Amino acid sequence: MKLYIKRNVPFQLFEINILEADKQQLLQISRELGVGLNLEEMLAIQGYFKSKGRNPTDVELQTIGQTWSEHCFHKTFKGEIVTSEGKIESLFKTYIFKVTAELNPPWCISVFEDNAGIIDFEDNYAVAVKVETHNHPSAIEPFGGAATGVGGVIRDILGVWADPIACTDVLCFGPLDYPYELLPAGIKHPKYLFRGVVAGIGHYGNNMGIPTVNGAICFDEGYVGNVVVYCGCIGLLPRDKYVRRVRDGDIILVVGGRTGRDGIHGVTFASAELTEESEEISRPAVQIANPIEEEKLKRAIIRVRDLKLGSAITDLGGGGLSSAIGEMANRFGLGAHVELEKVPLKYADMAPWEIYVSESQERMLLVVPKKNLEKVLEIFESEDVEATPIGEFTSDGILRIHYMGYLVAELDIPFLFQPPKTVRKVEWIPPKFEKPNFPEPKDLTKELLRLLSSPNIASRESVIRTYDHEVKGNTVIKPLHGENAGPSDAAVLKPLNHSWKGLVISCGINPNYGKIDPYWMAASAIDEALRNNVAVGGRRIALLDNFTWGNPEKPDRMGSLVRACQACYEIAKGFGTPFISGKDSLYNESPLGPVNPTLLITAVGIIPDIRKAVTLDVKAPGNLIYVLGETYAELGGSEYYKLKGFVGNDVPKVRVEKAKNLMDRLVEAIDAGLIRSCHDLSDGGLGVALAEMAFSGGYGIEIHLSRVPLAEKIERNDFVLFSESNSRFLVEVDDNCKEDFERFMHGIPHGLIGKVVKTSSFCIYGLNENVVVETSLDELMKSWKSFLGG
């Protein structure tokens, strides 16, 4: 029996003999066509075509494969989870979306519906935010993978008619000094990936003229086999220009770049583990970046938007035309008629299925009412961008694809969106790490300097300078603050000329805590993202969740994923901060095992007047320094333990009610003008935060550890100095404002721990009032800039 029957047409088209195939052969078909469907799904497809009494074409099977992929359909998050305590209907509905549904804030305009989450900003303006992952492509080709990650997320913003105004990027790599001989075949060295990814991100954002304003870089052995690349974008959207209403007869246009073989099966690739053969097999899955094409595309789309000539728009990303057309038809209860030969190609001789699933970059799907077609084409022509009508939406709910006059696919749209429900099993065994056992080091100055130069704490200046963070001229608080390039907690933008209102963008990520407990990793990431936002004056904060996990078909991976999701619900709900958008990237596995489970939380807040924003640098000698929040002996997963060769077990927790009170009060104090500088305590704890504040401002400080509010008995200076307990801040207060400030902080744990001094001396007195750290700002800054350079 032949599995593939060539159709007698003047182009490449195969009929897949699914009707006669047995289970073995069904899986063989799935494998050979690279559609990545499992047996249950293949059987469902077989059943569908049995009812139609015919075999599918390659176009049809590919279309289903793309639509049902983990990447496009998020089967795991939407599927059923079986735990020892019972069933979870859907991770997404039970934990993530539930926060937003229960809080239901009036300022959330569109959440988890569109390409991006949309929230209210000022007057008629809304803000759209999206964060994506581009891990798999970046592992194969770091420059192209990262660049197209940026390009893709920018199109997500354009896909809700918003004008992109800023980008973010969070990257995780293996250690830069990882021994070459330990790298498995097919895995690229972290240094190569690091350089390529950073260059790719800068290339795309800079060329498009969108400032990259916030981000983070993590280094850990858990990323050697799987690099993690998160790309975010924020856009500005006049609310009355948001149009989403497709009608029967509306014209489908492909706009932007041409379609080629780059990016075939990107979503299938993204839904599989990386292996030695990935380079060979999946190289075509990585797209080629052309930011100038997207810059022109953006101009044309914004003009079409401003004249309200379109009826809908969406990105041609994962799954290409196949998922974009299907999803849009499904959303509006329509069918579609497509003439594939009209799609402009980079080169001839592409098979119809390739055209339909290609993920070539810089393309979008634009839908316009017939009467506006001419005007829209004129706009694209004047911007030197191709726009090509390829079909129209129909009323019958059937997708019909033609090629050179032949019908090559005919599928019921509802069938495309009813894949068999995925069932995942869960297992969670809490890990137990060795109890760290080492005496308090004699020289804590040395420990502090070592921490400052450690990979996860050291200055990112040499990377950030290669990203244009000032273009558009609206970056009020920049990622590098002042002459000494201090590490700002969050970026502040002033997007509107006529308003002082600002947008505050920050993030939180604590993969090291996840080794102990993914629940507290997720909780800490939320707390950190909020801390960073609040530290500059942000409030009314919306969150985005981005999960990077291992193979969800393995119960232990699912076990940790469920724990992280549980924290997302409980902690975000406690803080009153809704999720507005998110994305999951699963199957991040390599011969080295699963990726370090990683949750990135992006926080987007507002500040009513940017002139009230606060930065981290100490401002003047004589000013007082307070620590807000309580310190616990929570060093599990800390950078200090890492330095000492331990993971530990006492992972930082979040006491959400206390934390919320503290943050609310801090924002009030900022509004009252009582705070001269503010910095959050994170990696490296109090010691590192103090150093960063001091050298960023160019003044020394004098601190007494004995005055730090402790929640439990801690007798070691190093633990007080380097504990990473959440929900803590350092603030600088003018001596004249001492009483006002302390009245403000009544009932909130706070300790007046020292003051800013005129000299460049950095001095910390220990619990017994003996000097435990003594150094200069130059020494501190030198260490801090020694790892990646300044």
Partner 1 sequence: MKREAIRVCILRVGGTNCDAETKRAFDDLGVKAEIIHFNELLRGRKQLADYDLLVFPGGFSFGDYVRAGAIWAKWFIAKLGKNLEEFMDQEKPILGICNGFQILVEAGILPGFEGISKYPEAALATNVPPGYNCRWVYVKNENRGKCVFTSKIPEKSVLRIPVAHSEGRFVFPKEREKNLLERLLENDQLVLRYCHKNGEPAEGEYPANPNGSFYDIAGICNSTGTVLGLMPHPERAYYGWQLPDWTRLKKVPNYADGKLIFESVIDYLTRKF
**E runs forming strands in 295-397:** 312-315, 335-339, 363-368, 387-394
Minimum CB distance to partner 1, residue 383 (Å): 7
- Comparing CB distances to partner 1, the nearer of 614 and 773 is 614
Q: Do you know the residue count of the chain?
A: 790
Would you say 349 and 359 are in contact if contact means Cβ atoms under 8 Å apart?
A: no
Would you say 594 and 557 are in contact if contact means Cβ atoms under 8 Å apart?
A: yes
- Comparing CB distances to partner 1, the nearer of 571 and 781 is 781
- Comparing CB distances to partner 1, the nearer of 573 and 782 is 782
- Please report whether residue 483 would count as binding partner 1 according to CB under 8 A: yes
- Please report whether residue 209 would count as binding partner 1 according to CB under 8 A: yes
- Comparing CB distances to partner 1, the nearer of 611 and 758 is 611
- Please report whether residue 142 would count as binding partner 1 according to CB under 8 A: no
Q: Is the four-CA dihedral 64, 66, 70, 74 of positive or negative sign?
A: negative
- Comparing CB distances to partner 1, the nearer of 523 and 733 is 733
Q: Which helix (H) or strand (E) holds 165?
A: strand 163-173
Catalytic residue among 71, 74, 136, 750: 71
Among 248, 280, 396, 470, binds partner 1 (CB under 8 A): 470
| Interacting span for partner 1 (CB under 8 A) from 277-285, 445-453, 472-480, 641-649 | 472-480
Binding to partner 1 by CB under 8 A, coded x per residue (else -) over 164-203, reads --------------------------------------x-
Question: Which of 243, 407, 404, 390 has its CA nearest to residue 316?
Answer: 390
Contacts of 545 (CB under 8 A, 6+ apart): 96, 568, 579, 582, 583, 599, 600, 601
Nearest-angstrom CA–CA distance, 62 and 354: 9
Question: Which of 195, 184, 181, 185 has its CA nearest to residue 141?
Answer: 195
User: Which region holds residue 41: left if phi is over 0, alpha if psi is between -120 and 50, else beta?
Assistant: alpha
| Interacting span for partner 1 (CB under 8 A) from 80-88, 180-188, 391-399, 469-477 | 469-477
- Please report whether residue 154 would count as binding partner 1 according to CB under 8 A: no
- Comparing CB distances to partner 1, the nearer of 468 and 545 is 468
- Please report whether residue 476 would count as binding partner 1 according to CB under 8 A: yes
Kindly list the distances between the CA atom of residue 748 and the CA atoms of 624, 628, 742, in Å, as whole numbers in the listed order. Answer: 17, 8, 9
Kindly list the distances between the CA atom of residue 35 and the CA atoms of 65, 523, 633, in Å, as whole numbers in the listed order. Answer: 5, 36, 50
Q: Is the four-CA dihedral 17, 18, 20, 21 of positive or negative sign?
A: positive
- Comparing CB distances to partner 1, the nearer of 226 and 475 is 475
Catalytic residue among 134, 469, 679, 704: 134
- Secondary structure (3-state) at 158: helix
- Please report whether residue 377 would count as binding partner 1 according to CB under 8 A: no
- Please report whether residue 665 would count as binding partner 1 according to CB under 8 A: no
Binding to partner 1 by CB under 8 A, coded x per residue (else -) over 273-292, reads -----------------xxx
Among 480, 507, 595, 606, binds partner 1 (CB under 8 A): 480
Among 10, 53, 473, 747, binds partner 1 (CB under 8 A): 473
- Please report whether residue 469 would count as binding partner 1 according to CB under 8 A: yes
Two structure tokens written together for 54: 């015919």
Nearest-angstrom CA–CA distance, 25 and 4: 11
- Please report whether residue 669 would count as binding partner 1 according to CB under 8 A: no
- Please report whether residue 114 would count as binding partner 1 according to CB under 8 A: no
- Please report whether residue 265 would count as binding partner 1 according to CB under 8 A: no
Our answer to whether residue 71 is catalytic in this structure is yes
* Size of the residue set binding partner 1 (CB under 8 A): 44
Question: Which of 647, 624, 626 has its CA nearest to residue 635?
Answer: 647
Number of C-beta neighbours around residue 117 at 10 A: 27
Nearest-angstrom CA–CA distance, 104 and 123: 20
Our answer to whether residue 746 is catalytic in this structure is no
Window 614 to 643, contacts with partner 1 (CB under 8 A): 614-615, 617, 619
Can you give the binding site for partner 1, defined by CB under 8 A? 202, 206-209, 290-293, 295-296, 382-384, 464-478, 480-483, 494, 497, 610-611, 613-615, 617, 619, 677, 697
- Active site members: 71, 134
